[in-house]
Amino acid sequence: MHSRIFEIKDAYFERDEWASDYDIADDDFRIEGVDYFQPLDDDNLRCENIKNFFTDVFPDKSFKILSNRPGETAIVQFVGDIKALYEKWIASIKEAANNIEYEEKGRWSIYNVALAVSDPFNIDHKFYQPDWNGCTVGADDFLGYLRHLSEKNEWRPFKIYVGEVFDFHF
């Protein structure tokens, strides 16, 4: 299956500062849970993927796209309620945990709990957040970053900036 890695920062940066495939990987040129990855080679496809993720994939219409043009850093505003998102996420983890069983489906039910924790809202995208943690991470850490930025901005809407977008296979 394929998904995307989004480069995310909390301050504007120019295209010549966008991450390369060497930036987003570890010293052995690997990313956990990723078979292979590469930057999208089409700027229009990049914009389409940004629009799709921030307007359709991420829950509760939490983002408003302010600018998303080919060849330019996208500007996205978080207008959601991070506390409500966390409550929804925690409820999904509890639901998955309540469905744990030992029988035949037991191993899958435990796997479903792990997915509920690491891939909130079934978001299988990854995020390169160089100013937050310096590495490529899953949606759980992206929510942590949004929580941090929400607190920092006293729960008011704030902007994030999207640079490079990578395709990856898992």
**Cα(96)–Cα(91) distance, integer angstroms:** 9
Q: In percent, how much of the chain has pLDDT > 70?
A: 98
Which region, left, alpha or beta, applies to residue 155 given φ > 0 means left and ψ of -120 to 50 means alpha? left
Is the whole model's pTM more than 0.75, yes or no? yes
Q: In percent, how much of the chain has pLDDT > 90?
A: 90
pLDDT per position as a tens digit, 113-152: 999 999 999 999 999 999 999 999 999 999 999 999 999 9
